[in-house]
Amino acid sequence: MFSKNFEKLFNELWSSDPFLNGDNWERKNYKSEDGSISFTYITNKRGGLNKQDEISLLKQKLDISVDEQNFEEAVELRDKIKNLEKNKEEITKLNKELNECVKKQDFENAIIIRDKIKNLK
């Protein structure tokens, strides 16, 4: 009873979401063979955040941290934002190299590049 009501509520809430109407979002349903388990999940087909989206998200989190007077977290977020803005070009270049390595299935170099990106962030 609960799962049917929850599923109905979930579907009603997400069917009107403007993000789902765009091309970037995909809804998938899963149901086990015996029917005892079923769930719906929503994924972003676009992939990860681009750098500007990531910076905007961090700035929003920073504002929340300041409002909540969580200054330790605010300092960390401020530093992440500065690093992203300062290293934006290098991170973009490395992301391109990373994608090329993955396409070539050169996973050893992909790991090295991934770690460089993490350090720059």
List, for residues 64-118, the tens digit of each pLDDT value: 989 999 999 999 999 988 888 888 888 889 999 999 999 999 899 899 999 988 8
In terms of domains, do 95 and 74 share one?
no
Q: What is the pTM of this model?
A: 0.43
Number of domains into which the chain is organized: 3
Between 96 and 6, the more confident residue is 96
Domain boundaries, position 36:
2-44
Summarize the confidence of residues 53-58 as an average pLDDT: 84
* Rg of the chain on CA atoms, in Å: 20
Taking the C-alpha atoms of residue 17 and residue 99, their distance in angstroms, rounded to an integer, is 31
Residues 5, 91: Cα–Cα separation, whole Å: 45
Q: In whole angstroms, what is the distance from residue 118 CA to residue 78 CA?
A: 16
Same structural domain, 73 and 97: no
Among candidate residues 12, 27, 44, the one where a domain is terminated: 44
Same domain, 18 and 35: yes
